[in-house]
């Protein structure tokens, strides 16, 4: 990294980092702990340098598929919702454990576009995420796939990519970094 790039990176106080399913699973049906460990380490280094970081994560359906040993499952809505419900706790447990190794607290925030479209929901989400940052926590945001059926059925484009853009706007972030293949 060139010195000018490092100087520019210092200008970004609040960063949203979107981690896609393929990155978190290395294209398999299970979480790639080595990859997630490396990502969490990068977030920890950013925090050490004074940056606030919000993670927008995918991967709950893949994590659920692995936890239930349900390879190939999840082709239709209700099945995908079940996988997301099981996988979300596994995904957050993984983040919680790995951030804890760096002395950081991970905080789960499950959002939906519908909640963010409502003024009260928008303000509640914003105030919560900003308060978490003020307390030094690392918010880990995911779409609430149990109720956000349109997203997991592919009716809306972008998986959590669009959600990461909404979160970037929600918290007035200076930078959105999308590590995804969509």
Nearest to 20 by CA among 175, 147, 142: 142
Mean pLDDT of the chain: 89
CA torsion, ordered 158, 160, 162, 168, to nearest 10 deg:
-150
| Pairwise CA distance, residues 11 & 34, whole Å | 29
Cβ atoms within 10 Å, residue 160: 27
pLDDT in tens, 76-117: 556 888 999 999 999 999 999 999 999 999 999 999 888 898
Please tell me what DSSP assigns to residue 145.
T
Least confident of 23-27, 57-61, 69-73: 69-73
| pLDDT attached to residue 114 | 84
pLDDT surpasses 60 at 122: yes
Q: What is the pLDDT of residue 146?
A: 85
Determine how many CB atoms are found less than 10 A away from the CB of residue 156: 15
Q: Give domain limits for the chain.
A: 3-179
**Mean pLDDT on 38-63:** 97
Whether pLDDT at 64 is above 80: yes
Query: What is the pLDDT at residue 11?
Result: 82
Q: What is the mean pLDDT of residues 67-76?
A: 73
Cβ–Cβ under 8 Å, residues 146 and 64: no
- pLDDT tens-digit map of 9-32: 668 999 999 999 999 999 888 899
CATH class of 3-179: alpha beta
Would you give the DSSP letter of residue 55?
E
pTM for this prediction: 0.89
Q: State what percent of residues in the chain have pLDDT above 90.
A: 70
């Amino acid at each position: 990294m060139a010195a000018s790039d490092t100087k520019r990176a210092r200008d970004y106080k609040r960063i949203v980092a979107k981690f896609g399913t393929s990155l978190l699973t290395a294209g398999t049906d299970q979480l790639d702990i080595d990859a997630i460990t490396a990502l969490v380490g990068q977030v920890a280094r950013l925090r050490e340098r004074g940056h606030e970081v919000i993670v927008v994560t995918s991967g709950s359906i893949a994590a659920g598929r692995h936890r239930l040993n349900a390879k190939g499952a999840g082709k239709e809505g209700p099945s995908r919702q079940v996988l997301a419900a099981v996988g979300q706790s596994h995904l957050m447990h993984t983040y919680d454990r790995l951030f804890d190794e760096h002395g950081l607290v991970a905080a789960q925030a499950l959002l939906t576009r519908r909640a963010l479209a409502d003024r009260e929901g928008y303000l509640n989400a914003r105030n919560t995420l900003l308060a978490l940052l003020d307390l030094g926590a690392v918010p880990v945001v995911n779409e609430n796939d149990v109720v956000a059926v349109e997203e997991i059925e592919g009716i809306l484009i972008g998986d959590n990519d669009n959600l990461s853009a909404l979160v970037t706007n929600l918290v007035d972030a200076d930078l959105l970094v999308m590590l995804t293949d969509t």
